[in-house]
C-alpha cells in the first residue's frame, strides 16, 4: 500500500480482505446471497442517482449481524452538487 493511498484513507489489502470475509460470514448467517446483495446495491444506486449526485463506484452495501438483529447498511458517498468552480 502506498503512502498516497494511506493519505487518501483507502483501506489496506488486509483490511479489504477482512471486510470481505466478514461479508461472506454474514451472508451465510442471513441467507442473503452475494448476487442478491449486488442487485440491491445496483437498485439503490439507480434510484438515488435520479435524485442526488452520488459516486456510484464507491457505494458499499453490507449486511451486519449481532446477537439480536441483522442490518443492511449502505455507505453512499455524495457527489459534488455545485460542479467545478
Bridge partner list, 60: 75
CA distance 30 to 83: 40
Claim: this prediction has a pTM higher than 0.85: no
* Max Cα–Cα distance, the chain, nearest Å: 48
Phi, psi dihedral angles at 75 (to 5 degrees)? -105, 110
User: Which among 72, 58, 56 has a CA at the least distance from the CA of 23?
Assistant: 72
Cβ atoms of 47 and 54 closer than 8 Å: no
Q: What is the pLDDT of residues 17-52, one digit of tens each?
A: 877 777 666 656 666 677 887 888 888 889 988 999
Amino acid at each position: 500500500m502506498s503512502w498516497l493511498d494511506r493519505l487518501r484513507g483507502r483501506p489496506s489489502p488486509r483490511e479489504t480482505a477482512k471486510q470481505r470475509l466478514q461479508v461472506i460470514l454474514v451472508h451465510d448467517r442471513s441467507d442473503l446471497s452475494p448476487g442478491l446483495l449486488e442487485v440491491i446495491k445496483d437498485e439503490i444506486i439507480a434510484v438515488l442517482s435520479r435524485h442526488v449526485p452520488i459516486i456510484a463506484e464507491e457505494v458499499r452495501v453490507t449486511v451486519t449481524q449481532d446477537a439480536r438483529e441483522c442490518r443492511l447498511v449502505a455507505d453512499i458517498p455524495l457527489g459534488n452538487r455545485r460542479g467545478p468552480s
